[in-house]
Amino acid sequence: MDTTQQFDAVAVIGLTKRYGRRTVVDHVDLHIPAGSVTGLIGPNGAGKTTVMSMLLGLVRPTDGRGTVLEHDLREPKAYMSQVGALIEAPAFYPNLPGRENLVHLCRLGGHDPSEIDGILDLVGLLGREGDSYGSYSLGMKQRLGIGAALLGDPRLVILDEPTNGVDPAGMRDIRAMVRRIADSGRTVLVSSHLLAELEHVCDHLIVLDQGGLRYQGTLAGLPATRDEVILLRGRMAADEERLVQLLRTGGHVVEHTATGLAVSVGDLDPATLAGDLNRTAADGGVNLVELHHRTESLEDRVLGLVGTGSRS
């Protein structure tokens, strides 16, 4: 990835969409660094697709201003030639072969059709490009949709739930594909409600819930919702009681959990702390059967921000 690019590929302030009295996107500020892979995450109904549609000029914002690739958000014609997208679901002519569908889009967009072979290779459809789109599996349709988004060598690629309906192996392939797209220097904005999906490909994250922005920044910066701890379990209950005394004497914050003890990491290095705890237990004659560092997954952190309820 080209880290010398400093500008925001997308920089919008107060992006809002209302349908009558219903506010679908509520004053969202977005800053998507150029060259990043940014994940747009949130439960169903959070407003992800609407935000993407507004960036693509498909949905008119009720309010908000900003730029996409340094062009005014309200003039999508000025920047759409540099943007590729798969939005909502892949949409092609079912009676046309996959390749012919891409050729059709090349004619519409004035793209060079000679790039189609490379794109078909990238999305893993070389060899099946002559089959009619209607005969494709769901995964192949998604791949062709991603391929269509790459026509015209766009600087910004927007992918709306690209792994929707795809089997686990297909998901892994699509994740790798997204990474390859990003490695070619493009900015990628990818949405998903499957939290673990984005953890593997994104370096920047936007969390939406009920149309509002809950978090924006790096994955590492995502706020923790519970203390980071080292979990310990002794062979017997008496071992744990003795260990509590030893640890508290040593100044550690220790709590009982359903399965053992939890020692707060605080500002300490977890690996160093784990080593110290193991040594303390051994020196005190306590037999440990379990010692591990409990970290929060992206899912835990995001759920802490948005709650667990899906509204679809």
Minimum gap (Å) between residue 183 Cβ and other proteins: 23
Binding window for other proteins (CB under 8 A); candidates: 88-96, 168-176, 216-224, 252-260:
88-96
Residue number, 62 or 264, with CB nearest to other proteins = 62
The token pair that represents 164 in the structure block: 């929707």
Q: Is 60 in the site for other proteins (CB under 8 A)?
A: yes
Q: Judged by CB under 8 A, how many residues of this single chain contact other proteins?
A: 34
Half-sphere exposure of 160 (CA within 13 A, CB side): 19
Distance CA 307, CA 298 (A): 13
Segment lying near other proteins (by CB under 8 A), choices 72-80, 191-199, 255-263, 276-284: 72-80
Kindly state the tokens that stand for 152. Answer: 């015209």
Dist. CA 52–CA 39, nearest whole Å: 12
* Identified binder of other proteins from the candidate list 76, 113, 212, 260, rule CB under 8 A: 76
Question: What are the contacts of 305-308 at 24+ separation with CB within 8 A?
Answer: 305/207, 305/209, 305/214, 305/215, 305/222, 305/223, 305/225, 306/42, 306/43, 306/46, 306/207, 306/209, 306/214, 307/209
- Measured from the CB of residue 18, what is the shortest distance to other proteins in angstroms? 12
Write down the least CB distance from residue 85 to other proteins, Å.
5
Tell me if 85 contacts other proteins by CB under 8 A.
yes
Q: Are 281 and 289 in contact (CB under 8 A)?
A: no
138 binds other proteins (CB under 8 A): no
Using DSSP's 3-state secondary structure scheme, residue 163 falls into coil
**191 lines the binding site for other proteins (CB under 8 A):** no
Q: What CA–CA distance (Å, rounded) separates 238 from 256?
A: 13
Alpha-carbon gap, residue 130 to 124, rounded angstroms: 13
By CB under 8 A, tell whether 7 contacts other proteins.
no
Q: Does 109 bind other proteins (CB under 8 A)?
A: yes
Strands of the 63-68 sheet, one edge to the other: 22-33, 8-19, 63-68, 71-72
- Footprint on residues 147-176 left by other proteins (CB under 8 A): 148-149, 151-152
Which member of 3, 108, 220, 258 binds other proteins (CB under 8 A)? 108
- If one asks whether residue 91 binds other proteins (CB under 8 A), the answer comes out as yes
Q: How far is the CB of 104 from other proteins (least distance, A)?
A: 5
149 or 298: whose CB is closer to other proteins?
Answer: 149
Distance CA 175, CA 280 (A): 43
Residues forming contacts to other proteins in the complex (CB under 8 A) are 49-50, 53, 56-60, 76-77, 80, 83-85, 87-93, 95-96, 104-105, 107-111, 148-149, 151-152
